[in-house]
Amino acid sequence: MELGEIGIWSMQLRGAAAPAVRAAAAELDSLGFGTLWIPGLDGNGVFDDVDELLAAAPRSVVSLGVLGIWGQRPGDVGRRLAELDDKHGPRALFGLGVSSPESAEQAGQRWGRPIDTMSGYLDRLAASEHPIDRERLLLGALGPRMAGLAATRTAGLHPFLVPAEYSAIQREALGDAPLIAPHLTVVLDTDASRARDVARAGVGFFLGLPAYRANLKPSRVRRRRPRVRRQ
C-alpha cells in the first residue's frame, strides 16, 4: 500500500463520528498526508472510527497503530477489514500488538511468551473465514524477535517511542523489503523550554511502562538486533 512519506498519528482522530474530527481528517487528506494513524488500544469502537475516517479522507490510508490482540477474535478482525474494503476499497492497514500482561489478564487469557502468542494469533487470522493478506498487517514490534516476526509474517513494523537509531538498526538487520513506520512525536513551538515541557508531559505515561523505557536506552537498542529467518 502507498502510505506516503509522512503520515499523521493522532489520538484525537479517535471518535471520528464527531463532525470536528471528520473535518480534520478531510483537511489532512486534502493537504496530502498519505496515512492517518490512530491508536487501536483495546479495540472498543475503533473499527467504526476507521470507517468514518476512510469516508472523510477518500485519498488516505487509515492505519491502526496498534490494536491489542487480547480482546479481538481473529475472525472478527478479518471480517471487519473485509467490510471496510467492500465499502471504501483497500485503504485500511491493521497494526497488531501484544500490549501488556495486564491486558491479557483483563481479557481472561494467559500472557505466555509474546512471540508465541502473536505467531499463534497470526496463524488463526490466516485460517479464519476472512484471512488478511500480510501486506495489510503490521506489528507493534519493539524487541528483536517480534521485529523478525513482523518482517516474515507481515508488511513490517510500527515501533512506538524508540530513539532514531532504532529504525536504522532495524533497516540494516531486516533489509529493504519490510516497512518500518516509526511513531515520531513532534512538538511545534518556538519556545524550546515550553516545547520540552509539552514533550515530557506527552511521553510521561509511557515512560512508566518497562518495555518503552527499555527501548529508549541507546546501549540496549544497539544490542537488540532482530533475528530474521531468511526465506
- Which residue, 158, 68, 80, is CA-closest to 121? 68
Predicted confidence at residue 227, as pLDDT, reads: 54
Q: For the chain, give the longest Cα–Cα distance.
A: 53
Domain-embedded: residue 229: no
Residue 158 domain-assigned?
Answer: yes
150-173 pLDDT, tens digit per residue, is 999 999 999 998 888 888 999 999
Task: Provide the residue range defining the domain that includes 62.
Answer: 8-223
What is the dihedral angle through the alpha carbons of 117, 119, 125, 128, rounded to the nearest 10 degrees? -90
Please tell me the predicted confidence (pLDDT) of residue 230.
Answer: 47
Angle between helix axes 46-56 and 74-88 (nearest 10 degrees) is: 20
**230 in a structural domain:** no
By three-state DSSP, how is residue 221 classified?
helix
Identity (one letter) of the amino acid at 156?
A: G
Asked if residue 66 lies in contact with residue 40, where contact means CB atoms within 8 angstroms, the answer is yes
Judge whether 3 lies within some domain: no
In a domain, 231, yes or no: no
In a domain, 98, yes or no: yes
In a domain, 121, yes or no: yes
CATH at 154:
3.20.20.30
Q: Please report, as a single letter, which amino acid is at residue 78.
A: G
pTM for the complete prediction?
0.89
Number of domains comprising the chain: 1
Could you list the mean pLDDT of each consecutive 10-residue stretch along the chain, which spans 231 residues?
Answer: 92 91 97 95 90 97 96 95 98 94 88 94 97 97 92 96 87 94 92 95 84 70 52 44
Q: Is residue 74 part of a domain?
A: yes
CA angle 213, 216, 219 (to 5 degrees): 120
